[in-house]
């Protein structure tokens, strides 16, 4: 047995580290946290100083037993990540192995390379309990909020909902941005652009101010037809563009989204693999600092590859107050490796990190900027023409790159410029953009909410829980006016333009709006931006030894728990945003709209006060009309919806056809079959139209059915032919002709499905 046992949190990391340690070392993994708070219980004794109850989860019992056995005759080295989470993992391992955390050997490194591992082993320390307490405070704080606030949402809004200290604030940001966009009032103006003849070359310029309306634009173009133009001034000045700092976690997430189209979760998953295989430094950091060794290595590579004039070693100042300067930014472990990774996703992200880190140590790009002012006779209005020439590419050599050079033609001050053409194009003011994953990360970081390690799981959680949807927006058509000066006349044209089209934006669901409104009204201080940011600051104070974790939790709970008690008085109708629309003219019953168990719902009539009275009339429920929300649906729109489900007629086989609207949109129901309605209104579709939809669906289904043996079928699906018994689907091997599959073959495939390849 080896004399030394090194314990890390990841199997991949263990495999990489093992390459750099001798035969006297064995490396094992704890597979993340080996202990945690119980899943089915709050696990925190509030009345006893917030004492947590930790337990080894069932899936980690075997791991714990193996670590105990291996550690009996070996010196234990704890090598989990160097952040608070890693320190807590090491502390929990000590507890499981019955090791004194103040006497154990704790080693940390922010890159998995032989020099870093060797240096860490040569300089072990003990567990930093201040970091452990900071992680423990965060874990208990989030547990208190989740376990006390979520049940309130179950009672008042809908069962199964969750709330969180950071996730609820993130949802609030998205909800408030969406409402800001809906309330935005667009204003139009006209941008005037002109093309002048400058010695046989075109010179493009724009009027320095926008014109208010069509009348002003027409008057200006007519006056320009009689005016003369000359160069009033030419200003030339040198400029430069400096490279960005090497990546922190949040800037990597933002840039990977912008350049590679990666989600935040995808970026962190790929970066984790690159780190564990020793290709990059630790990927959870808010420091832009680089070690002197890294600065020297970058300089050596730049000078050898591009020349001395491209090198400018730089140490960047970290903006975050809580960033630990001893940590490093995300960088490659070896600058002389422009490519690394086992698949295209890893290679793309590695190259992005490599280029950014290398560019940060290179010379700024130099440009020559030219601005020409063009005066107009009889008016004080000026046109501006700008140009830029790239003089020296600098860091553009490896990262980014300037726009194509825009060079102005040769002109002189006082030179007359004949007008070739001029137009005024209507433009509209725009609201703030919807959040993407990357811009949400940037906003959370600006507000000081959460930490780099929390952004990916937070954004993933709010999407998984149905609060937020990531969508591509088609945009809306809008009429845009254009005035063109031609042959002394102004022609008015109009064209249709799509506005608001966008990709991968985060949109709140109605559930998000209902929950956010409830939390803002009853727990305003808990999901306040400053409060959440201050909590992060207090966690930093715990890590620095300036505050005890019990003091921080006590202060929070004394404020938080009374709000929980107070919220018990809120009615379910108020929480679900119940709104009376008016009275149904036929029945005289009240019509309401509210958020129900499965989403927004219309209600005709009121629920009986005595729930045990089975003979009392029950209200009638209906879905909202398509395109409406809780806030804007009207009585006129609501009343027809109570006609659903609607009997349309019968099929040729005398089966009843009904229409309704479900969770996934309008549909036809025939017997036990449901058929989606995409091009028909469920309130207006006729029997003849419904029959056509049914026949079309039956034809499509018949093409899918290759063989029907009663209990099993052979079908043709979107991913190829397969056999099914209604519960299990098994893909038919490529070498097998699906049309020749017998019932015996189908049953055999279902009994022995081919093993799926591991991802």
- The Cα 461–Cα 89 span in angstroms is 22
Residue 338 structure tokens: 């422009």
Q: Is the four-CA dihedral 393, 396, 397, 400 of positive or negative sign?
A: negative
Residue 538 structure tokens: 């207090």
Query: Is 455 a known active-site residue?
Result: no
Residue 657 bridge partners (DSSP) = 649, 670
- The Cα 112–Cα 641 span in angstroms is 63
Task: State the DSSP H helix or E strand holding residue 405, giving kind and residue range, or none if neither.
Answer: none
Q: Among 282, 310, 435, 595, which one carries the catalytic annotation?
A: 282
- The Cα 459–Cα 468 span in angstroms is 9
Task: State the DSSP H helix or E strand holding residue 545, giving kind and residue range, or none if neither.
Answer: none
Q: Is the four-CA dihedral 92, 97, 98, 101 of positive or negative sign?
A: negative
Q: Which residues are CB-neighbours of 726 under 8 A, at least 6 positions away?
A: none
- C-alpha distances in Å from residue 84, one per residue of 80, 134, 191: 10, 7, 53
Residue 141 structure tokens: 């704080």
- The Cα 325–Cα 547 span in angstroms is 21
- The Cα 604–Cα 599 span in angstroms is 16
- The Cα 693–Cα 659 span in angstroms is 12
* Three-state secondary structure string covering 284-321: CCCCCCCCHHHHHHHHHHHHHHHCHHHECCCCCCCCCC
Kindly report the length of the chain. Answer: 759
Residue 727 structure tokens: 């519960």
- The Cα 84–Cα 541 span in angstroms is 13
Neighbours of 18 (CB within 10 A): 14
- The Cα 41–Cα 60 span in angstroms is 18
Q: Is the four-CA dihedral 225, 228, 232, 237 of positive or negative sign?
A: positive
Peptide bond into 618 cis (omega under 30): no
**Which residues participate in catalysis according to the annotation?**
282
């Amino acid at each position: 047995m080896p004399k030394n046992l090194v314990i890390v949190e990841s199997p991949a990391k263990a495999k990489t580290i093992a390459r750099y340690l001798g035969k006297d070392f064995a490396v094992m993994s704890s597979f993340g946290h080996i202990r945690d708070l119980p899943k089915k219980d709050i696990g925190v004794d509030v009345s006893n100083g917030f004492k947590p109850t930790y337990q080894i989860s069932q899936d980690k019992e075997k791991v714990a037993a193996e670590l105990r056995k291996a550690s009996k005759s070996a010196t234990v080295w704890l090598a989990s990540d160097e952040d608070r989470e890693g320190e807590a993992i090491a502390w929990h391992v000590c507890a499981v192995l019955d090791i004194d955390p103040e006497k154990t050997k704790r080693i940390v490194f922010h890159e998995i390379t032989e020099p870093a591992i060797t240096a860490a082993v040569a300089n072990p320390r003990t567990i930093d309990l201040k970091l452990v307490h900071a992680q423990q405070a965060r874990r208990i704080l989030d547990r208190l909020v989740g376990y006390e606030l979520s049940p309130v949402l179950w009672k008042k809004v809908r069962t199964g909902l969750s709330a969180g200290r950071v996730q609820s604030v993130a949802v609030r940001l998205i909800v408030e941005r969406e409402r800001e966009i809906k309330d935005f009032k667009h204003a139009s103006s006209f941008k005037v652009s002109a093309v002048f003849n400058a010695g046989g070359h075109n010179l493009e310029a724009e009027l320095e101010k926008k014109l208010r309306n069509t009348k002003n634009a027409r008057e200006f173009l007519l006056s320009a037809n009689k005016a003369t133009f000359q160069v009033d001034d030419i200003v030339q000045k040198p400029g430069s563009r400096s490279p960005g700092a090497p990546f922190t976690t949040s800037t990597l997430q933002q840039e990977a989204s912008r350049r590679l189209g990666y989600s935040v979760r995808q970026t962190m998953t790929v970066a984790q693999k690159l780190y564990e295989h020793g290709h990059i430094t630790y990927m959870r950091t808010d420091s832009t600092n680089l070690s002197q060794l890294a600065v020297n290595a970058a300089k050596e590579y730049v000078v050898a590859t591009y020349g001395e004039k491209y090198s400018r070693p730089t140490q960047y100042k970290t903006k975050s107050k809580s960033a630990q300067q001893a940590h490093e930014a995300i960088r490659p472990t070896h600058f002389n490796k422009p490519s690394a990774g086992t698949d295209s996703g890893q290679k793309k992200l590695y190259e992005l990190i490599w280029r950014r880190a290398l560019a940060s140590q290179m010379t700024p790009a130099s440009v020559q900027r030219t601005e020409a002012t063009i005066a107009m006779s009889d008016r004080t209005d000026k046109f501006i023409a700008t140009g830029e020439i790239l003089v020296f590419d600098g860091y553009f050599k490896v990262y980014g790159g300037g726009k194509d050079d825009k060079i102005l033609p040769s002109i002189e001050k006082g030179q007359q410029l004949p007008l070739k053409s001029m137009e005024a194009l209507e433009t509209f003011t725009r609201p703030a953009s919807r959040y993407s994953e990357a811009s949400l990360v940037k906003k959370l970081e600006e507000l000081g909410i959460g930490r780099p390690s929390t952004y990916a799981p937070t954004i993933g959680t709010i999407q998984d829980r149905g609060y937020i949807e990531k969508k591509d927006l088609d945009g809306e058509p809008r009429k845009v006016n254009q005035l063109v000066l031609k042959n002394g006349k102004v022609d008015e044209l109009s064209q249709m333009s799509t506005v608001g089209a966008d990709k991968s934006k985060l949109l709140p669901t109605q559930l998000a709006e209902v929950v956010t409104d409830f939390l803002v009204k009853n727990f305003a201080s808990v999901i306040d931006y400053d409060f959440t940011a201050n909590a992060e600051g207090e966690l930093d104070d715990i890590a620095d030894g300036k505050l005890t974790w019990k003091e921080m939790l006590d202060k929070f709970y004394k404020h938080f728990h009374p709000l929980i008690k107070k919220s018990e008085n809120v009615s379910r109708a108020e929480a679900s945003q119940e709104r009376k629309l008016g009275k149904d003219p036929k029945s005289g019953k009240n019509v309401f709209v509210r958020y129900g168990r499965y989403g927004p719902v219309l209600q005709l009539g009121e629920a009986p006060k005595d729930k045990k009275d089975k003979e009392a009339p029950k209200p009638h429920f209906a879905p909202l009309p398509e395109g409406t929300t809780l806030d804007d649906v009207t009585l006129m729109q609501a009343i027809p919806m109570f006609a659903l489900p609607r009997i349309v007629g019968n099929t040729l086989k005398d089966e009843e056809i009904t229409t309704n609207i479900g969770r996934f949109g309008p549909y036809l129901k025939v017997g036990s079959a449901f058929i989606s309605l995409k091009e028909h209104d469920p309130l207006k579709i006729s029997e003849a139209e419904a029959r056509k939809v049914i026949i079309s669906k039956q034809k499509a289904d018949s093409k899918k059915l290759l063989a029907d043996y009663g209990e099993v079928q052979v079908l043709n699906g979107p991913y190829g032919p397969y056999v099914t018994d209604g519960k299990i689907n098994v893909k038919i091997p490529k070498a097998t002709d699906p049309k020749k599959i017998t019932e015996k073959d189908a049953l055999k495939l279902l009994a022995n499905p081919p093993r799926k390849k591991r991802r």
